[in-house]
Amino acid sequence: MQVLHFGAGNIGRGFIGKLLADAGIKVTFADVNQAIVDELNARHQYPVNVVGECATTEVVIGVDAINSQSDDVIDKIAKVDLVTTAVGPQILPRIASAVAKGLIARFESNNTLPLNIIACENMVRGTSQFKEHIFAVLPAQYHDWVNQYVGFVDSAVDRIVPPATSKTGDILEVTVETFSEWIVDETQFKGSVPIISGMEPTDNLMAFVERKLFTLNTGHAITAYLGHYYGLTTIRDAILDERIRLIARGAMEESGQVLINRYNFDEVKHIAYIEKILTRFENPYLHDDTARVGRQPLRKLSPSDRLVKPLLGTFEYQLCSNNLQIGIAAALNYRNHDDEQAIELADIIAKQGIDKAFSQISTIEINNPVIAKVAKIYDLMQKKDF
Ligand SMILES: NC(=O)c1ccc[n+]([C@@H]2O[C@H](COP(=O)([O-])OP(=O)(O)OC[C@H]3O[C@@H](n4cnc5c(N)ncnc54)[C@H](O)[C@@H]3O)[C@@H](O)[C@H]2O)c1
Ligand SMILES: O=P(O)(O)OC[C@@H](O)[C@@H](O)[C@H](O)[C@H](O)CO
The ligand 2 atom nearest the CA atom of 293: 6
How far apart are alpha carbons 333 and 225 in whole angstroms? 8
Residue 320 CA, distance from chain mean position: 26
State if residue 10 touches ligand 1 by the CB under 6 angstroms criterion. yes
State if residue 32 touches ligand 1 by the CB under 6 angstroms criterion. yes
Structure ipTM over 0.85, yes or no? yes
Amino acid at 179: F
How far apart are alpha carbons 356 and 352 in whole angstroms? 6
Residue 115: name the closest of 185, 194, 182, 181 by CA.
194
| Ligand 1 mean position, distance from CA 227 (Å) | 23
Question: Helix count (H) and strand count (E) of the chain?
Answer: 19, 12
**CB-CB neighbours of 253 under 10 Å:** 18
| Ligand 1 mean position, distance from CA 61 (Å) | 21
| Ligand 1 mean position, distance from CA 319 (Å) | 34
Q: Where are the alpha helices (DSSP H) in the chain?
A: 10-11, 17-22, 34-43, 72-79, 92-108, 126-137, 143-149, 205-211, 217-229, 235-239, 242-263, 267-281, 290-293, 297-300, 308-316, 322-332, 340-352, 354-362, 369-382
Per DSSP, the three-state class of 153 is strand
The answer on pLDDT for 360 being more than 90 is yes
The answer on pLDDT for 376 being more than 90 is yes
How far apart are alpha carbons 27 and 41 in whole angstroms? 12
pLDDT at position 53, please?
84
Using CA atoms, how far residue 273 sits from 265, 266, 278, in Å, is: 11, 11, 9
How far apart are alpha carbons 166 and 29 in whole angstroms? 21
pLDDT tens string 278-317? 999 999 999 999 999 999 999 999 999 999 999 999 999 9
Say if residues 142 and 17 touch (Cβ distance below 8 Å).
no
pLDDT at position 28, please?
98
Query: Could you tell me whether strands 199-202 and 181-185 are parallel, antiparallel, or unpaired per DSSP bridges?
Result: parallel
Q: What is the mean pLDDT of the chain?
A: 98
6, 18, 31, 134, best to mutate for ligand 1 pocket (most atoms within 8 Å of CB) = 31
Q: Percent helix, strand and coil across the chain, each rounded to 5?
A: 55, 15, 30
pLDDT at position 173, please?
98
Using CA atoms, how far residue 312 sits from 42, 124, 174, 382, in Å, is: 50, 15, 37, 25
Say if residues 28 and 5 touch (Cβ distance below 8 Å).
yes
CATH superfamily, with its number, for domain 207-382: N-(1-d-carboxylethyl)-l-norvaline Dehydrogenase; domain 2 (1.10.1040.10)
Say if residues 146 and 138 touch (Cβ distance below 8 Å).
yes
pLDDT at position 207, please?
97
Ligand 2 site residues (CB inside 6 A) read 122, 158-160, 216-217, 220, 293, 295
pLDDT tens string 201-237? 999 999 999 999 999 999 999 999 999 999 999 999 9
How far apart are alpha carbons 243 and 225 in whole angstroms? 13
Per-residue exposure over 76-97, b if at least 16 CB sit within 10 Å of its own CB, e if not? bbbebbbbbbbbbbebbeebbe
- Residues of the chain with pLDDT > 90, as a percent, come to 98
Where exactly does CATH 1.10.1040.10 map onto the chain? Answer: 207-382
How far apart are alpha carbons 110 and 60 in whole angstroms? 33
Walk across the sheet containing 174-177 and list its strands.
56-61, 45-51, 174-177
Using CA atoms, how far residue 185 sits from 190, 237, 381, in Å, is: 11, 36, 41
Amino acid at 170: D
Residues 6+ apart with CB under 8 A from 292: 162, 163, 224
The answer on pLDDT for 118 being more than 90 is yes
Rounded to an integer, the average pLDDT of 73-96 is 98
pLDDT tens string 5-50? 999 999 999 999 999 999 999 999 999 999 999 999 999 999 999 9
CATH of 2-202, one of 3.30.360.10, 2.40.37.10, 3.40.50.720, 3.40.50.1370: 3.40.50.720
pLDDT at position 54, please?
86
| Ligand 1 mean position, distance from CA 8 (Å) | 7
State if residue 157 touches ligand 1 by the CB under 6 angstroms criterion. yes
Say if residues 291 and 338 touch (Cβ distance below 8 Å).
yes
159, 160, 174, 222, best to mutate for ligand 2 pocket (most atoms within 8 Å of CB) = 160
- Residues of the chain with pLDDT > 70, as a percent, come to 100
Where exactly does CATH 3.40.50.720 map onto the chain? Answer: 2-202
10, 92, 283, 295, best to mutate for ligand 1 pocket (most atoms within 8 Å of CB) = 10
Burial, 34: exposed, middle or buried (Cβ in 10 Å; 0-12, 13-18, 19+)?
A: exposed
pLDDT tens string 312-338? 999 999 999 999 999 999 999 999 999
85, 228, 292, 334, best to mutate for ligand 2 pocket (most atoms within 8 Å of CB) = 292
